[in-house]
Structure 1
């Protein structure tokens, strides 16, 4: 009988350990992400139009920048350190959009950065015409973020402005933005980053509209900006962008 009692208690002990493990895991996850851990993540391709500012539709989407069909893909990189987009703390390869871009372009992003031809200094840019049969975007604009140890979310307003100005210069009426901060190993504040990019882009657009009214600029009106987000960050990004849109409408 003692042996039987011990055998019956073993599954109960295992259950208690499993339940405890779940609570420990949830305790280690940032509060902002716990709700998403306990629910199904959005599938790749999930997207939503969040609102409109100055005639520009603002969209959020779960997609790798290498697979996004767009006339212009904006992506961001830090100053180069050896193998930085392929090893921790960078995101794993399956979720690493910058690594997908690099691989899809046969390693040219790593080659340019490693050689110093494109250093990734803060706000440095390089525009790549994408060859047929490689990645989905027609053009790729890389914007440097400088030293990752000195990253400040405020700089993303300037990044947003740079992306918008280049899009207007190229004559496209839509483009896609991917900040790629976590791809580069920086645990950035997702909501603040998305909001700052949008604020910078809209401010830059309004400046060009003002200049156009004075016959000092000519450009095709922008119709849409799409913000790419990883599956765990899609809801956070969308909510943050909605807040900017709502505040702007007041």
Structure 2
């Protein structure tokens, strides 16, 4: 590893500057910068090339072994799909190329009225503490919030509600030690505005059969719609990129 090489040549620098960080904390930086790292691969439906790809995939592949976790449940796997425009990653698309596989499909969805936008949600501190406290009470607790990585499945899909209407999904959640709060990077309807307070339905519908989680009951978490990126350092000092192009 690079750190080991540096220490070999300059042990004094290593002692003064390098700090070990746990692997559990590594992925939490995505919350502060606005990156959604694990959307569900959109390969489970479709004919032609997609069907050939599914046939080629092994039974031990990520797509075959991954699980969806969260309060949103649908019999149609396409309800979990997102596109590059919703994630804010459309700048990766090489529009200047004369042609490439999928160009027409991307062009057709670019300005689709159904496209959602990316946002960051800050979880209400009191609601988070209530969930944790339920583990010390009689009866089924609310879904445990693990620290720092809150996710418990390969791809997350927790319902976001505004006046009992579903307006989006939380796609990645963790605790930020820098911001001292639980954050979610989400996709929401276009008319949701910064400062709005919504409700995140936390936990699996009862009873859960997921092996990666414990028996529990759902909880309503108040969440405040916040800028993406959430961290002021990322918003103010990062170069113009996907981090500063939230919808």
TM (normalized to structure 1)? 0.24
Q: Which has the larger share of helix?
A: 1
Which is higher, the Rg of structure 1 or of structure 2? 1
